[in-house]
Amino acid sequence: MKRMVQNLAILFINNYRITSIKCLYIMFSTFFSNKAVNQESKDLIISFFSEYRSSCFREGFLSISSRPKITLEDGYIIIDVDLPFPCDGELDDISDALTEMLNQTTLIKPNYQIAQVRQHSLKGISNIIAVTSGKGGVGKSTTAVNLAYALIEEGSTVGILDADIYGPSIPTLLGLKGQQPSSTNGKSIIPLSSHGLVAMSVGLLVGDEDATVWRGPMASRAFSQLLNETLWPDLDYLIVDMPPGTGDIQLTLSQSVPVAAAIVVTTPQDIALTDAIKGITMFDKVKVPVLGLIENMSYHLCEKCGHQSHLFGENGGANTAKNKNIPLLGQLPLNIEIRQDADQGNSAVLKNSTGDIALLYRKLARNVASELYYQLDARSPNTAEIRFSDK
Are 77 and 131 members of one domain? no
Q: How many domains does the chain have?
A: 2
Residue at which a domain ends, from 52, 82, 112: 112
What's the mean pLDDT when you consider all of the chain? 86
Considering all CA atoms of the chain, what is the largest pairwise distance in Å, rounded to the nearest integer? 104
Place 8 in a pLDDT band, splitting at 50, 70 and 90: very low
**Span 197-208, mean pLDDT?**
85
What pLDDT is stored for residue 6 in this prediction? Answer: 52
Are 225 and 86 members of one domain? no
**Span 173-193, mean pLDDT?**
90
- Domain harbouring 132, CATH code: 3.40.50.300
Are 304 and 355 members of one domain? yes
Residue 239 within a domain: yes
**Span 79-88, mean pLDDT?**
97
Could you tell me which of 98, 116, 21 has the C-alpha nearest to residue 61? 98
Place 390 in a pLDDT band, splitting at 50, 70 and 90: low
Tell me which of 169-173, 255-259, 274-278 is least confident: 255-259
Three-class SS of residue 262?
A: strand
Rounded Cα distance between 173 and 345, Å, is 4
Tell me which of 57-71, 140-154, 198-212, 350-364 is least confident: 198-212
Are 301 and 221 members of one domain? yes
The pLDDT > 90 percentage for the chain reads 61
234 and 261 in contact (C-beta within 8 Å)? Answer: no
What pLDDT is stored for residue 31 in this prediction? Answer: 39
Surface-to-core class of residue 273, CB atoms within 10 Å of its CB (0-12 exposed, 13-18 middle, 19+ buried): buried
The pLDDT > 70 percentage for the chain reads 86
Task: Give the contacts of 29 (CB within 8 A, at least 6 positions apart).
Answer: none
DSSP string, 68-119: PEEEEETTEEEEEEEESS--HHHHHHHHHHHHHHHTS-EEEEEEE-PPPSS-
Residue 254 within a domain: yes
Residue 39 has pLDDT above 70, yes or no: yes
Residue 163 within a domain: yes
Residue 240 has pLDDT above 90, yes or no: yes
- Any idea what the Cα angle at residue 31 is, between residues 30 and 33, rounded to 5°? 65
Q: Residue count of the chain, please give it.
A: 391
Residue 389 within a domain: no
Residue at which a domain ends, from 112, 138, 164: 112
Residue 27 has pLDDT above 60, yes or no: no
Give the structural domain span for 55. 39-112
Residue 99 within a domain: yes
Residue 12 within a domain: no
Are 143 and 269 members of one domain? yes
Are 68 and 145 members of one domain? no
Rounded Cα distance between 266 and 289, Å, is 17
What pLDDT is stored for residue 164 in this prediction? Answer: 82
Residue 344 within a domain: yes
Residue at which a domain ends, from 90, 112, 134: 112
Are 161 and 220 members of one domain? yes
Residue 381 within a domain: no
